[in-house]
Structure 1
């Protein structure tokens, strides 16, 4: 669990609310359902139009990475790798077959399966490298959902402000309705700029850092599988792992 991410979002939002209090304003004045609807629904619609359904859904699903990084259950321990390399040198590559069911990471299991099936090490490495490229391209495309949200939200916030001012102009003859219209106008801008810079863009950058870590982990597993397949010394394999970590 990555508590720092939750703390960062809470601290960012708390800073805005605390500043509002220091200025003598009422926090409730920032709670404008109309402005929130314009900014959030409008931003979601624009992003969906740009990205398409599959990418949009994938981007939303990646949000859980903010508190639960994707590599938690996928990391292979040094002991496991040392056992694999020792078994391969002692019993041959077919001896690795009994470890396949215990591997929780599909990518690592695929690498071991290619080794056990007797695929040429260079061909196996090529297959795994293509797998990594495909994974990275797909995930980075999904992250653009949040980057796009960070780009559209401020502009849609301005759109909400204009709508609020239109409402004000339509009710100039009724002073009782002027306050609500002006509030929606200014709060919509705050929502747009605030969510873009305090939530959407930081989330995008956080997700990109997780993708970089996952790609590096997969590249390490490719090197390890290649080393095992070519019969390298277990000590050399340990040094390869140390270079990545």
Structure 2
């Protein structure tokens, strides 16, 4: 699990809490149910309204992946691919079928199955590119959903403030309460800005980054599988993939060592 999201939120809200206490203000003054319900509820509502139900379900399901972070770095699949190249060179492509159970992910497993089945190189490339494009589209939809929430939230906060100020103007004959009422009115704007920049936009940015890592990993797998299909040797496969991933040095031991190290 990648802890950066949790660490970032703790730092952000911790800094906010520090400012509130240093200014001598009260946290309770900001935790007003009415503006929070308006801003959070309406933001999610208009976000759903601007997307399809399928998009919304996809965005909700992506939250778990967002918190956990990428399953593996792109370079983590290189030892597996080098191991596959070694086996294919010594035992033939059909022997790769024995590697299916230990494949690091479904994309790699499907590509291995295609290799073992004798799929044509162009057909294999088309299938993998289609899967990569589909994954990129899913990642983009989820990230865009939360990015749109980050765009709506500040404006909805202003709407809440206008509604509250209208209530203030209706009670100008109670000057003793005006200060408290005006302060409460701006809490909606605060929550609009706060939720956009502390919650929705960070989620969107993290999903975009996780999606980019996933696509990079899938691209490495695709290039490695095509190289294996073409009969490239393990050393050439490793050098090519390391060049694509930007990794330095040389991997020792291939797939077996990677599995043992991960455990």
Query: What TM-score comes out, normalization by structure 1 length?
Result: 0.92
**Alignment partner of 1:205 is 2:205:** yes
Residue number in structure 2 paired with 1:218: 218
Equivalent residues of 1:74, 1:104 under 8 A apart? no
Q: Map of 1:1-245 to 2, 5 A cutoff?
A: 1-72=1-72, 77-174=77-174, 178=178, 181-243=181-243, 244=245, 245=247
**Post-superposition shift, 1:183?**
3.6
Query: What TM-score comes out, normalization by structure 2 length?
Result: 0.86
Equivalent residues of 1:157, 1:190 under 8 A apart? yes
Equivalent residues of 2:81, 2:225 under 8 A apart? no
Gaps of 5+ in 2: 248-263
Equivalent residues of 2:55, 2:142 under 8 A apart? yes
Determine helix, strand or coil for the equivalent of 1:51: coil
Q: May I ask how many residue pairs the two structures share in their alignment?
A: 245
Distance 2:102 2:75 in 1: 13
**Post-superposition shift, 1:181?**
3.6
**Post-superposition shift, 1:170?**
3.0
Distance 1:27 1:176, change over 3 A: same
**Post-superposition shift, 1:179?**
5.4
Distance 2:6 2:26 in 1: 25
Distance 1:198 1:186 in 2: 18
Distance 2:147 2:80 in 1: 38
User: What value does the CA root-mean-square deviation take over the aligned residues?
Assistant: 2.0
Deviations 1:24-54 (A, max 9, x none): 2112111111110000000000100111211
Distance 1:168 1:149 in 2: 28
Equivalent residues of 1:121, 1:229 under 8 A apart? yes
Gaps of 5+ in 1: none
Distance 2:140 2:70 in 1: 14
Equivalent residues of 1:74, 1:105 under 8 A apart? no
Equivalent residues of 2:81, 2:221 under 8 A apart? no
Determine helix, strand or coil for the equivalent of 2:68: coil
**Post-superposition shift, 1:98?**
0.9
Deviations 1:8-37 (A, max 9, x none): 111112222222222221121111111100
**Post-superposition shift, 1:172?**
3.3
